[in-house]
Every structure is written in structure tokens, then in C-alpha cells.
A and B are shown apart, each in its own frame.
Chain A
């Protein structure tokens, strides 16, 4: 049994408040055969400048240090790709550094940028991420992704990362899903929901109007996961700029407070050892006293059914921001829906529901903008961007896209980013005739979870309207 010391469980502290001043995103797509990465990064940065009515050169005057999230160097065959982008953005001679934590790279990049401001080292930092996965054939791409697993113990087994991941889905499916058709439908509902929300997002790569049956009839990738249960592989860029209070209010009239924390767990799922479930503020030891009775086979934690890194990131971030119950305290959330089933797992890791009961977050209608059963606003809408399943998974940019999307809701400017016909035209995408606003009305607080692979790294970023904080500094 692994135990953690009180020092390790200390709630992280930012030495001064940190604010998110602006964000930006590029178009996301499977491939850009005639666009260089820097063009997409400049698109994202320019969008961030536009958002605060500045020119890019005006915005650059505030930046003091730069954090770049870009996971897979080997896809682009370019080491120090961060330096290329830094130069093309015209940000020399500022200090810059690359951040790499797999699928959590975007979140981790923001984690670093926030700490630099909190410590006083910088008053304004840039967190910008991108990914480029279209410049090798798909089977070589699968090999390159599998190189993020242990190269001696896992990669030679098929060179296919999905295989290393899906064994966890299988375990969750059998133990907590009990192989029920109704659970299979709930998984499919997530794919329908997120692809449906992507239809309202001009940046999104894979908008689709589909049914539960479509998902259940799509080709099997690794049972029980089917093609429409899986996230996208994407190219694109996203960014955010964070500041101390004074600088933030020089850039914009309404910056958002940002808190962010990170957790980790073994790179190989094989190395997970047993431990007691670390509890979140809305749980007690009683929450889990009969878990193994209700779900035979769930006696091992995290086993293959939980993500310890996500639980720890949530534990730290909730403590920093004063969140007692995420469903009550938050208004909007972006989760890392790499697969429909892992999305359900993460509901439990971050405390939207206790372990074993994640499916209820979807089935209750809480996860929708409009609860399909009550026709009233959902309690905590998730992945209105379309998520990784419907919008994009351009690895190094994903966590930053999520933070940007949460920001748009709290700023009450979601429509401005997603509605204009000119943007749909510029991206060469058809705006649906039934386009509707997904703005969460009155959103004051939101959460974005950025997650790597089998759960090696996870960050939890919380954004709040500064007039609606839950905790004094």
C-alpha cells in the first residue's frame, strides 16, 4: 500500500493572484498539407490579440517569458521546434522553454506559465501549444505515438498505443459498466453529445449529427471501443496569456482568475500499485466502504478503473480554489474525452460522481447545456467545444483549447468566437442552418482537465470570474 506524506499532500499556493488576460485558437484539422506549423501558431496568437482589441505587436510588449507546449518532436523531425516558433512569433530575446507531458502538454504549459507569474519572476507570460501529426503515414504515426509508452516493455507489443489504453476501458466496462447494454448506450451518448456540440464550433474538426445506433454500429477498434468512441488526431494551435493583477487589467477590463495544479502516475499501467482512494472535499471514507461489494472486482485502487493523476490534480486544484463540490461550485467544464469510456472514468476522478457512478453524470442530464429530460439548463455542461472527440486533439494545444473555451463562457463571449459567418467562411466550413448558441448563461467558474495517455500526467485548471471567488487569497 502506497502512502503519501502530509508534505506531499500540501495544497499548492500561488504567491500572488494570477489572471488569464486573453486566449486564442487556430483552425483545427486532421492535416494541413499546405500550411506550416508557425502559420497556425501565428493564427492562434493573432486571435488572442484580437480578443483584447490589440495588434499582435502591442500584445507582445507585455510578454516577459514564453512557455511552449509541443509533445511529439519526432513527428515533425525538428528538435527545438519551440525555438522556431519563438523566432517566427518575433519574441526573441525573451526566455522560453518547451514543455512535454504527452496529452497533458497543453495543460502543463499553462501550469508553468502560471507559476512564473505567481512567483513574481514575470508579470506576463505566454502559454502557446501546437501539434503536428500529419507529416507521416498513419501506421508510422501509430508507431511514433506508441513510443510514448515504455519502449522496452510495451512499444514492441504491436506498436499501437490504443492497445495499452483499451485494457483499462475493458476493465471499467466489466466492473463498473457490468457489460450492460444501457452502459454501452451511455458511452455512445457521450460521442453523440460531443460531436453534436462540435457542430456549433467553426474551429472543430469533426462535427457530426449522429445517433447512439451510429456509434454502436461504427467499426470496432478494440472491443468495447468503436471508431466513434475515440478522439481525433489533429493539427492546430491554441494559446493563453496570464498576468499579475496590474498587468492583466492593463490588457483587459475583465481578466479571469486562474488556478492550476498537476498530478502524475506511472507511465506503464503495469506499475500501478495498490493504495487507499485519496478523497476529495465532497467525499468521506464512507463513500467507498461498500464499493467492492457493489462492484465486485473494484477492490484494487486505482487498478485500471481510476486515474490517480486526475484525482490528485483535482485534489490540489480544488484546495487552491476553495471548491467543495465541483457540481455545485462550477458552471462549465472541459474534460479530456480521449475515449467515451475514459471520459466516464474521469467524472469519478474529479469528483463529479463517486467512483463507480460516473455514468449518472450523463444519464441524469447534468452534463448537457440543456438537460434532455427536464429541458432546463444542465447542472454542469461538459465539452461544449466538442472535446477531443468532436473538436480536436492536437496534443500540445488541447489543454489550451479547453482553457480558452472555458474562458469564452465566463467572459460571456462564446458567441462572438463561434457564430460569425466570416469565420466559418475563412475556415472553409459550412455553418449549420440550425446553428445555436452554446453560451452557458451566467457562467462564473469553470474547470479544464488536461490528461496524458494512460494517465501519466494530468492538470486541472480552474477559471473564475474575480467577483465570484470561493476563497480569500
Chain B
């Protein structure tokens, strides 16, 4: 059963500290586990309901960008680095080679024009807490000039190797998670996009 507003936990950062408000865990009594065949006690259940507070740190611009329809990446601009000019998507705060802070860049247009499928898989399975519609079409995306291969999901269309895809963003009700970014096959119309998503 989804929680009511009164049963949810919310957090702000105030004066550099987390300030939680609301309900962060609802206690529930444990239950015994019996062996039905022997009638003997085997163990107990341990119900648990928790909410974590998690910092995005230097990656926050990426997750905030998604809700604004922007795909942010990073690039090493260190003249002394052997891999200078490498563009990273997934967004990396620091260059993995020289460990200098990368430059944040907007690669939305690059993604709209050069994204294509490197690999994919379709699965009807998911784990607890999944919020994506099933089947899930995982895709791995190559972008021109980007040294890495981003993982995402295909929301509209059928995946194929080298097929061109374009990013879509949850701009109407952002969750500020990676699920705010999805892809659709090139040529998809606005009306086919999932609820809350825009190009």
C-alpha cells in the first residue's frame, strides 16, 4: 500500500546539516516462522522500513539537469593529462587519469544527434522497488566523441544494434533519479512519450 503524505519522510539541508521531517520508519511487529511439518520453531521475520538520505555531491548538476531537459556530461581539460579532451557519460566529477576536476558540459544536442544503441536486452524481470514499466528494454548508448557507453532504457520502439535513439526527460514531475532520463527511437512523436516526459 503506498504511504500517505503523513507517513513519508522529507529532508532539507539547512546550515550545512540534514534536517529530516515527517516519518522515517513505521515499526511493525515480527512474526514467528514454524515448520509446518514438525510444528517446531524455525526462526522469525524481521520487518524493516527505512529511508536513507543520500548526497549526490558533485554529480547533483547531472541529476538536476535531467528535470530541466538537459543531459550534462564532463570533460577533462587538463593540458598535462594524457587523455585530455575525453568526454564522460556517465558524468564523472574527476578525470580518472589525472584526478583533476572535469569541466561540466551540456551534451544534450550531441545526444539528440548522435546517440545510437551499442547493446541492449529486454527483460520481464525486475527486483523489489522497481518503478519502470515492464518489460524493461535496457539499452547501452554510444555518443560521438564520448569515451564511455551510457546505460539507460528505451521507452518507445524496439532496440536494435546501431539504431539511432534520442533522449527524453521527466521534466513535468522529476524524481531526480536516473529514471528521469530515458530514450526513444528516432522519429518518435511527442504524443507517444510516457507521462511527464518531454524531448
Contact = CB atoms under 8 A, between A and B. Distances in A.
B150 interface: yes
A147 B139 CA distance: 19
Contacts of A174: 161
Contact of B128 (A143, A167, A223, A304): A143
Contact of A157 (B124, B136, B149): B136
A163 B121 contact: yes
A357 interface: no
B90 interface: yes
Contacts of B128: 137, 139-140, 142-143, 159
A304 B119 contact: yes
Contacts of A168: 119
A152 B127 contact: no
Interface in A143-197: 143-146, 150-154, 156-164, 166-171, 174
A164 B151 contact: yes
Contacts of A140: 127-128
A142 B127 contact: yes
Contacts of A271: 90, 92, 96, 148
B94 interface: no
A29 to B, nearest CB: 15
A157 B153 contact: yes
B125 A222 contact: yes
B125 A273 contact: no
A175 B161 CA distance: 10
A268 B124 CA distance: 22
Given A77-B46, A304-B140, A156 B123 contact: no
A139 B118 contact: no
B27 to A, nearest CB: 16
A401 interface: no
A157 B129 contact: no
Interface residues of A, number: 48
Contact of B126 (A3, A160, A220, A304): A160
B120 A159 contact: no
A170 B119 contact: yes
Interface string A254-280: 000000000000001111111000000
A221 B124 CA distance: 7
Main secondary structure of the interface of A (DSSP, over half): mixed
Interface residues on B, range: 35 or more
Nearest to B131: A156
Given A33-B35, A162-B125, A157 B118 contact: no
Given A34-B35, A163-B138, A142 B148 contact: no
Contacts of A297: 161
A230 to B, nearest CB: 11
B56 interface: yes
A296 B118 CA distance: 13
Contacts of B89: 270
Contacts of A157: 132, 136, 138, 151-153, 178-179
A269 B33 CA distance: 40
Contact of A270 (B46, B124, B132, B148): B148
A33 B33 contact: yes
Instruction: Among A143, A161, A271, find the residue whose CB has the most chain B CB atoms closer than 10 A.
Output: A271
Contacts of B136: 157-158, 160, 163
B173 interface: no
A143 to B, nearest CB: 4
A2 B147 CA distance: 11
A347 B33 CA distance: 45
Contacts of B150: 270
B77 to A, nearest CB: 17
A156 B63 CA distance: 13
A151 B123 CA distance: 20
A158 B120 contact: no
A145 B78 CA distance: 37
Contacts of A270: 89-90, 140, 148-151
B29 interface: no
Contact of A222 (B96, B122, B148): B122
B130 interface: yes
Interface string B135-158: 010111000000111111100000
Contacts of B48: 77
Given A33-B35, A170-B120, A222-B121, A268 B127 contact: no
B126 A159 contact: yes
Nearest to A174: B161
Contacts of B152: 157
Contact of A163 (B42, B82, B96, B123): B123
Given A158-B138, A270-B140, A272-B149, A304 B118 contact: yes
A465 to B, nearest CB: 42
A23 to B, nearest CB: 30
A261 B149 CA distance: 29
A169 B179 CA distance: 23
Nearest to A171: B119
A3 B97 CA distance: 10
Contacts of A34: 35, 42-43
Nearest to A150: B90
Interface of B: 33, 35, 42-43, 46, 48, 54, 56, 59, 63, 82-83, 86, 89-90, 92, 96, 118-132, 136, 138-140, 147-153, 161, 177-179
17 contacts: A2-B83, A33-B33, A33-B42, A139-B126, A139-B128, A146-B127, A158-B130, A159-B128, A162-B123, A166-B121, A167-B120, A167-B139, A170-B119, A174-B161, A270-B149, A271-B90, A297-B161
Given A142-B126, A158-B126, A158-B127, 17 more contacts: A2-B83, A3-B82, A34-B42, A142-B127, A142-B128, A143-B128, A152-B177, A156-B179, A157-B178, A161-B127, A163-B121, A163-B138, A167-B140, A167-B151, A170-B119, A222-B122, A273-B148
Closest 8 CB pairs of A and B: A142-B127, A159-B127, A143-B127, A166-B121, A222-B123, A171-B119, A139-B128, A143-B128
